[in-house]
Chain A
Amino acid sequence: MKATSTLQTQPSGRLCWANWNAIGTAIRIVVTDATQLEAARAMLEDDLAVLDMSCSRFRADSELIQLEASAGRPAKVSPVLAGAVRAALRGARLTDGDVDPTLGHAMEAIGYDRDFVLVQARQSRPQAAKMRVSVSRAASWRQIELNEAAGLLTVPVGVRLDLGATAKAWAADRSAQRIARVLSCGVLVSLGGDIAIAGDLPPGGWSVRVQDVTGDPLEPTTGPADVISIREGGLATSSTRARRWERGGDVMHHILDPRTGWPAESVWRTVSVAAGSALDANIASTAAIIRGHRATGWLAKLGLPARLVAVDGSVKTVAGWPKEVRS
């Protein structure tokens, strides 16, 4: 589906941007050269179309779903799917499995089995009384075999991959770098709030408002927010306040604790992390939600600047994230 986008220029004329929806989330691209906006948007749309066809959990014709027909045998995969799986495995490895790409069936068991707009629509229907879902793990992420040189991927029988946690961030990094390289301008790519920057910096760096739920920068936000400037790498925010739905009397969200297969009961409702890439920022912010109190020490030890918002709205910052809070 062709995206519908709007093109706007900042009053100062320095930045211009386009917004649209794709891959089930809000897309935003900002460039420092207005003459390159259309080309940049077209490049990002192309990248996202390929990403959707390769990695979507909600398309029967996606490469990810077709992969299951290989029933545990090595299957030839595209470079995009291979790259997204590599990114997901990186997340699993560097978080000791807290960011786990094998939770596709667990996600379906709690009701997130289609595009999120449809999940929300379904929740308005009468539900059965309180329900509990027990999810048994078919295999570990450690059993996924990726041979990129040969373009072969082996997924254990019974595993459905869910690359949602890392694929957007990986794709943001990839597209931002490609667009900046080809068009020779500064670029910010936001895929649902997973932000990657590349190329020339605007004066003062790229300003970003961190908040519970990704929204329009021109619209005010509710809840704690902070406007900061980044000059390299990426920024990502994970939140239990986004993608929430009701099922069987329980309020669900999309960040699952791999130990339980159930939405993480975190002390943090929102975690933002700045890192060398959007991918690493996303891995860290997702793991921080799952790790709860242990997250602050872990982030500090890694030197990853982060802002953590507790369930009560209080804010904690670590590793050099500016303490001043603006809204």
Chain B
Amino acid sequence: MNGSPISGPTRQHARRQGQARMSALTRVVGAASVLGAVAIAVSLPQSTSVNTASASPATTSLTSASSGDDNSSSDDNSGTASSSSQLQPSAAPTTTTTTTPPAATSGGS
């Protein structure tokens, strides 16, 4: 008894179609993976530290801009210092002509 109502050529055609679909799907998934990897790489900071001890996705040495301190510092709440990839400049100091003593001194300590 012939258990298949579908002829041999038709099965081969269907198989080829299925293979073609799988191949196209594979290409799409592959391309998406590459794009995803590129997106992740682009989104990473330039100077991400390499944690050689044990890398955990939830653990970062340096790049987190989150603030765990509600008292917040310039490094916490300015949004620049902790997240920036370089030291942040300020306006240059100016000479002062006041005759009163300075408010403070800055030297080694």
Give the interface of A toward B (CB within 8 A): 10-12, 15, 17, 25-26, 28, 30, 47, 79-80, 82-83, 86-87, 89-90, 93-94, 140, 142-152, 154, 156, 170-171, 173-174, 177-178, 188, 190, 192-196, 202, 204-218, 221, 227-243, 270, 272, 274-280, 283-284, 302-305, 319-322, 324, 326
Distance to closest chain B CB from A307 (angstroms): 9
A280 touches B104 (CB 8 A): no
Total number of A-B contacts with CB less than 8 angstroms? 265
Q: Which of B10-18, B31-39, B86-94 is the interface stretch? A: B86-94
Contact among A188, A205, A216 for B94, CB-based, below 8 A: A205
A6 to chain B, nearest CB (A): 14
Q: Which of B52, B82, B93, B108 contacts A86 (CB 8 A)?
A: B82
Excluding A11-B100, A205-B96, A275-B90, 6 further A-B contacts by CB distance (< 8 Å) are: A26-B109, A79-B71, A83-B69, A209-B104, A210-B105, A240-B108
Check B62–A213 contact: CB distance below 8 A: no
The A contact surface, by secondary structure, is mixed
User: Which candidate, B1-9, B22-30, B73-81, is the interface stretch facing chain A?
Assistant: B73-81
Partner of B109, one of A151, A152, A188, A193: A193
17 chain-A/chain-B pairs, Cβ below 8 angstroms: A83-B69, A86-B64, A93-B49, A142-B52, A148-B66, A177-B72, A190-B105, A193-B106, A194-B106, A209-B102, A209-B104, A218-B101, A232-B90, A234-B74, A238-B108, A242-B107, A319-B92
Residue with the greatest number of chain B CB neighbours at <10 A, chosen from A79, A156, A195: A79
Identify which of A142, A174, A213, A275 contacts B72 (C-beta below 8 A): A174
Chain B interface helix/strand/loop/mixed: loop
Tell me which of B62, B90, B101 contacts A274 (CB under 8 A): B90
User: In the complex, are the beta carbons of B74 and A215 less than 8 A apart?
Assistant: no
Shortest beta-carbon distance, B60 to chain A, in Å? Answer: 7
CA distance A145 to B54 in the complex (A): 9
- B100 and A279 contacting across the interface, CB-CB below 8 Å: no
- B90: chain A residues within 8 A (beta carbon): 230, 232-234, 274-276, 305
Q: Which B residues from 36 to 70 make CB contacts under 8 A with A?
A: 47, 49-54, 56, 58-62, 64, 66-70
How far does the Cβ of A296 sit from chain B's closest Cβ, in whole Å?
15
Q: Closest approach, in angstroms, between the C-beta of A197 and any C-beta of chain B?
A: 9
B108 CB to closest chain A CB, in angstroms? 3
Please indicate which of the listed interface residues B52, B68, B74, B107 has the most CB atoms of chain A within 10 Å of its own CB: B107
The listed residue (A216, A228, A304) touching B87 by CB distance below 8 A is A304
